[in-house]
Homo-oligomer: A and B are copies of this chain.
Amino acid sequence: MSVEDLVLPLLRPTRLQLSLLSRFYATISRAIHRCMRARRIRGDVTLQGSFAKGTILSDKWEIDVFLLLDNVDLGWLRKEAEQFLVECLGHRLPVVIKYSQQPYVSVSLMGMEADVVPVARGAGSYRGLGAERTPLHTEYVRSRLDEHRRDEVRLLKSFLRGIGVYGAETRTRGFSGYLAELLIVYYGSFRETLRNVSRWRPPIYIDPEGIGDRTFMTRKYRDSPLIVVDPVDPQRNAAAAVSRNSLETLVLAARLYLEKPHPWFFHIAQPSSLPLPPLPGWLLRIQCRGALASKPPDSVWGRLVRSARSLRAHLESRGFEIAHITVESDEYRSVSITILLDSCRLPDMEVTRGPSITSDLRRATRFIVKRLRESGGAWLDGRRLTGARPRPWIRRSAILASLEWLYSSSSLPLREIAPECIVSCRRCGEENKPCNPTPPWIASLLRA
């Protein structure tokens, strides 16, 4: 029995799940139809996304409801749609207003969640928004995937999530559900996709329907390591969000999995805690609070990721050895950067390597004079200039170095969105956090 055969039953939605989601949809649909009639708005209420396409996973209790409206314009969508949706749904269900390229709402019921997105249909209203393409994607995928291939999509999506590259948002810069579906359409199966991926050497160009202009696309998406021509829009790269990191992570995971398949590559089969010993390192945490709910999550994550990169460079330039770095946010009021270090404190003396003896005189002189002015020293170590200096106290402690960074201009992206910060650095395990960032799919190598 293959690993896929073991995992697949866990990924398929149960009949109960499907019927609850259907009923949830019916409730929403009814409520909106009633409103539309009352306000003389014409159009269709439709089911989209993975539930509509039959590729939903067993642990996903979410549906996408799109209102395809005929007699509304963009001004209405931008200004009145929000009010309309809150009034239609708000008296029965809790409603949260969200923003992507335009406002939409999210309603929830007994742990189920529905995004309700209004779209203007009809001549002259197409603006190339993601939301407007969604119905076309649903249609395309339904036409191309039979029941068997939907299972293959489920495997691929779970695999992508399992290795941390599922999702096109800024936080992940990975593979969207739609992209996973396109890969299965193109390669035919999960295994065949992995086999091909394992041989990928970016840049990769894939055109499932053979409708794209390769020269045009490779110029337009010059920086994309992966181009997948969108079957419903030949000028669009359905893989535009995929970063090189995500792509290469998938390549490595595909190779490892093909070599030694293991359930831990699939998110659904990953244990909540791994049988790994905690590492004897130190955790530097920068936790900040601010009003994030009003900001688009992509913007929050973008700043957070940029801040983490800047902090990392700051710490590394001061001599700290960084093992691992993670960012977290509830997208509501808190963000955090957690860094696994070998030590929270650096030695009092800092050793610096200088230019080679025979490099030009000015560089050598500059190195020597700098070290001497810093109350340090310089000498020859073999054929290299070497020096040392007392490390300033602010640079010895990871906490102080982080505070220095927080108040320097380069860290503005974080301070702008979450200005109240607490910095701590503690021995691993003191905060009850698991102190071994090895992901399950990598840990599986020891098991296989």
Which A residues are within 8 Å of any B CB, using their own CB? 201, 244-245, 248-249, 251-252, 255-256, 259, 276-277, 279-282, 321-325, 340, 342-343, 347-351, 357-358, 361, 364-365, 368-369, 371-373, 375-383, 386, 388-391, 428, 436-439, 442-443, 445-446
Q: Which residues of B contact A281 (CB under 8 A)?
A: 347-349, 388
Q: How far is the CA of A309 from the CA of B95 in the complex (A)?
A: 71
**Max count, chain B CB within 10 A of own CB: residue among A340, A350, A357:** A357
Q: Which residues of B contact A348 (CB under 8 A)?
A: 280-281, 342
Closest Cβ of chain B: how far from A293's Cβ, in Å? 30
**Max count, chain B CB within 10 A of own CB: residue among A201, A377, A381:** A377
Q: Which residues of B contact A357 (CB under 8 A)?
A: 248-249, 251-252
Q: Which residues of B contact A369 (CB under 8 A)?
A: 445-446
Q: How far is the CA of A400 from the CA of B352 in the complex (A)?
A: 25
Q: Which residues of B contact A376 (CB under 8 A)?
A: 279
11 pairs, A vs B, C-beta closer than 8 Å: A201-B358, A244-B383, A251-B358, A279-B349, A324-B386, A325-B381, A342-B348, A342-B349, A342-B351, A369-B445, A371-B438
Q: Which residues of B contact A347 (CB under 8 A)?
A: 281, 321, 342-343
* Interface SS majority for chain A: mixed
Q: How far is the CA of A322 from the CA of B351 in the complex (A)?
A: 8
A361 CB contact (under 8 Å) in B255, B322, B438: B255
Q: Which residues of B contact A324 (CB under 8 A)?
A: 379, 381, 386, 388
Q: How far is the CA of A342 from the CA of B349 in the complex (A)?
A: 5
A388 CB contact (under 8 Å) in B256, B279, B325, B442: B279
Chain B: which residue is nearest A371 at the CB level? B438
Q: How far is the CA of A445 from the CA of B366 in the complex (A)?
A: 10
Are A245 and B378 in contact (CB-based, < 8 A)? Answer: no
Are B443 and A248 in contact (CB-based, < 8 A)? Answer: no
Chain B: which residue is nearest A438 at the CB level? B377
Are B386 and A445 in contact (CB-based, < 8 A)? Answer: no
Are B351 and A388 in contact (CB-based, < 8 A)? Answer: no
A438 CB contact (under 8 Å) in B244, B255, B378: B378
Closest Cβ of chain B: how far from A30's Cβ, in Å? 47
Closest Cβ of chain B: how far from A365's Cβ, in Å? 7
Chain B: which residue is nearest A385 at the CB level? B252
Q: How far is the CA of A386 from the CA of B348 in the complex (A)?
A: 27
Closest Cβ of chain B: how far from A204's Cβ, in Å? 13
Q: How far is the CA of A428 from the CA of B347 in the complex (A)?
A: 13
Q: Which residues of B contact A442 (CB under 8 A)?
A: 368, 378-379
Q: Which residues of B contact A391 (CB under 8 A)?
A: 280
Q: How far is the CA of A323 from the CA of B378 in the complex (A)?
A: 10
A365 CB contact (under 8 Å) in B248, B388, B443, B445: B445
Q: Which residues of B contact A438 (CB under 8 A)?
A: 371-372, 377-379
Are B379 and A349 in contact (CB-based, < 8 A)? Answer: no
Given contacts A323-B388, A437-B377, A438-B378, contact A383 B276 (CB under 8 A): no
